[in-house]
Structure 1
Amino acid sequence: MDKEVGEVNWLDLPFHVMSLILLKLVYVKDYIRFGAVCQSWHSIYTHNRDDYIRHLPHQLPVLIVTTEAEKHIRHWQTRSYYDLSENRVCKFPLSVPHCDYFHSFFSSEGWLIRDEGQYVSLFNPFLSVDNVIMLPSLEDEDDEMGDDKWLGKAALSANPALNPNYVLMAVCFGNCWKAAFYKPGNPRWTSLLDCEEGDFIVDVIYSGYQFYAMTTDGSIWAYDLSSSIPNVSKVAPCIDQTERIGDCLRYYLVESLGELLGVKRNWSSKDSPYTLNFQVFRLDQNMFKWIETKSLSGRSLFVGNNTSMSIMASDFPRCKPNCIYFTHEGRNHEPFEEHSHDMGVYNLEDGSIEPHYLMESIKLNYPAPMWIEPTFTK
């Protein structure tokens, strides 16, 4: 049959036009599917891969969960993840190394960060090769904290699969909360200067070539680790705690559209802890003050035992704008059956909370559900 008037064969489009279209794709899945169409499209996929990776925005994270069938399994060889965009639970395509017990467990740049006492490890469940990196134990840190310490939070500066010169900054918990960092090739972790006396670091992110840490009072410190002597400076005052709602609060730090956001989570600690609400504050660095906001400019925030992240909701199906996707907070190696149900989607505009996963199917969480960002490698 002859082609209809105006019909265009996509295979006839010039190479440079197809490249421009390909680089506009936001979802990694769509990029991979593009390369699988035919041989000519695969060559365009290969030719543009480095540029695509370089400009790739944050991907929609998936939620690591423990299903009913896995609730009695005390290792990570059969863990599943919940895909928000497809509203379904999937198995990880790879076996995850066996681990009977670990102090702490976090995610950053698509890697799982585990503190197992004798060493710290990075593991990427989305890669089939070169997906495990062994790091020194925190007990090898050159300071006077003593031997009993573990990770309280951790963040990577880059995906180690794409950048071998990554830096891992961590909050160490021992006799007190303090910061340390590790660079590949170093024999041990390096301690960082403490914040002001009485302030403990509760969250850390990487943005704009430096790390930022948020303390228990909501103030922010910048850590420039690019030189041999780290530069530490205070960039934001504390967030006013007079508006505390409930018995407890928890702070998160997020970079969104080039701005730093302080997220305050209020919850009740009576009986079974549960989240009451969230408050979001935008940092005005010129005025050196926090400004509360009810809008995320169409973006969504993901917080929990992951490096907090912000994504454009309209880029991904089923993702709700101006909402905060949150998971259970706590010592994530402990099987808190009730506490782990404290997760959902908080609407910043109307204050409502709804589930993002069918929580009645979660019987036991080991560790607690956690967001992890899918990664793409060369």
Structure 2
Amino acid sequence: MSSSAKHGTTTTSSSSIDPAETASSSSYFLPELIPLVASRLTTLQDFFALRAICRTYRALLPLSQSNLASQAPLLLVPHKASSSEALFHIPLRRILRFRLPRTPLAHRDPNNAEFHSFGCRVAIEDSDAMGSHLELHICHLLTGQQVRLPDPPKDYEGIIFAGDLVLTFNRYYHTVRYCRIGGKDNDWRAARCAEGYGLRDLISLNGTLYALIFPNYCLAVVELDNSYVVLSFLGGELSAETVENSSMLRLAECRGELLLISAVRYPVGYQVFQWQSGDRKWVRTTALGGCSLFFNILQFAGCLGPDHPAVQGNCLYIIKYNGQCIKYSLVDGSSHELVADYPGQPRAWVLPSIC
């Protein structure tokens, strides 16, 4: 994938995961069997190799959630052989051939970058050695689509993707900054919350922005009205005890349902609460219907459905600040570190089936 996206424009290039398409007209499987074959493949290399056999196969295998449903979650990790990153396949303990497009700043100081992701979209923040100049490079790792957003806000807490919107926020500044990709310009705009309110976390679900609002730690719907954040409060205030005993509060979703994840200090572990809109409150749950939730250091990275072949259901997969990658079971409260043979700390989760 090329890193030569022009200022303020979106370009598309073929992914380096995808082998060169052949001109072969022979068929090894009946066309109607191709989606079934793809559903059994668990590596992107095999999936793209199948697509590359002929144009018929490629047409039958668009980059859709159903065709990629069996793909394992991947970790974006440093690559020891280059200044770029690689995708690590945890079940196979294997590095997938891959070259992540980077901005010119990254080549000056490759260690001065931050990564954020949701599904297959990755946002890379690069800065020069002095941290005086920033660029945000957003890439779709399967399609190769990429866009460069100059001068992103500083001191934000994660990147939120909401359709064609990219949003950042900072709880201490009471401000949301947002940029619309694909519009006439890629300028960042600022929208401020009403006096006294701040955003602890933000998530986009079914076309709606939800926020956890402090100081009362209640749930609200967020609308952006030019330079203002309009809040519609839904209730669900958290008790002072819950807030004080939590080292992390993150909004998430599972099969269209809104969740709140709390990392508790005592006893050490994680708690999951499901939003009950009728009762306007959070209700604790220990089951995710067999689904699994994935978290980067600063934000929710996606949900994989039940019976996924590469993950354990009813679990949280979390990248921690210290670089650990853990799996926490909601069934028995056990926590296991995912030990993998890759250099350096994991950057972010990449979930191919969320494309």
Q: Normalising by structure 1, what TM-score? A: 0.68
For the residue of structure 1 that corresponds to 2:48, the secondary structure is helix
CA 1:78–1:249 in structure 2 vs 1: closer, same or farther (change >3 Å)? same
Contact preservation (8 Å) 1:103, 1:151: no
For the residue of structure 2 that corresponds to 1:250, the secondary structure is strand
Contact preservation (8 Å) 1:58, 1:310: no
* Structure with greater helix share of residues: 1
Q: Which amino acid aligns with 2:205?
A: S
Q: Which amino acid aligns with 1:264?
A: S
Contact preservation (8 Å) 1:300, 1:320: yes
Partner Cα separation in structure 2 for residue 299 and residue 138 of structure 1: 34
Contact preservation (8 Å) 1:103, 1:150: no
Q: Which amino acid aligns with 2:175?
A: K
Contact preservation (8 Å) 1:79, 1:91: no
CA shift at 1:351, angstroms?
Answer: 0.8
Q: What does 1:243-254 align with in structure 2 at a 5 Å threshold?
A: 243=242, 248-254=246-252
CA shift at 1:302, angstroms?
Answer: 0.5
CA 1:106–1:169 in structure 2 vs 1: closer, same or farther (change >3 Å)? same
Match of 2:278 in 1: 286
Partner Cα separation in structure 2 for residue 293 and residue 22 of structure 1: 36
Match of 1:239 in 2: 238
Q: Which amino acid aligns with 1:249?
A: S
CA shift at 1:298, angstroms?
Answer: 0.3
Between stretches 285-294 and 118-127, larger displacement belongs to 118-127
Match of 1:156 in 2: 161
Q: What does 1:159-238 align with in structure 2 at a 5 Å threshold?
A: 166-172=164-170, 176-184=173-181, 185-186=184-185, 188-194=187-193, 197=196, 199-215=197-213, 218-224=217-223, 232-238=231-237
* Structure with greater strand share of residues: 2
Q: Deviations over 1:234-255 (max 9, x none)?
A: 2342333424686x51111111
Root-mean-square deviation (Å): 3.9
- Counterpart selection for 1:111 from 122, 129, 137: 122
Give the share of equivalent positions with the same residue, in percent: 18
Partner Cα separation in structure 2 for residue 55 and residue 230 of structure 1: 38
CA 1:189–1:94 in structure 2 vs 1: closer, same or farther (change >3 Å)? closer
Between stretches 200-209 and 94-103, larger displacement belongs to 94-103
For the residue of structure 2 that corresponds to 1:221, the secondary structure is strand
Gaps of 5+ in 1: 1-9, 71-75, 140-148, 159-165, 269-274, 330-338
Match of 2:151 in 1: 137
CA shift at 1:277, angstroms?
Answer: 0.6
- Counterpart selection for 1:340 from 323, 333, 342: 323
CA 1:43–1:196 in structure 2 vs 1: closer, same or farther (change >3 Å)? farther
Q: Does 1:316 align with 2:309?
A: yes
What number of residue pairs does the alignment pair up?
Answer: 315
Contact preservation (8 Å) 1:202, 1:214: yes
Q: Which amino acid aligns with 1:325?
A: Y
Contact preservation (8 Å) 2:66, 2:353: no
Gaps of 5+ in 2: 1-26
For the residue of structure 2 that corresponds to 1:315, the secondary structure is coil
CA 1:99–1:294 in structure 2 vs 1: closer, same or farther (change >3 Å)? farther
Match of 2:83 in 1: 77
Partner Cα separation in structure 2 for residue 135 and residue 84 of structure 1: 31
- Counterpart selection for 2:58 from 3, 26, 45: 45
Q: Which amino acid aligns with 1:371?
A: W
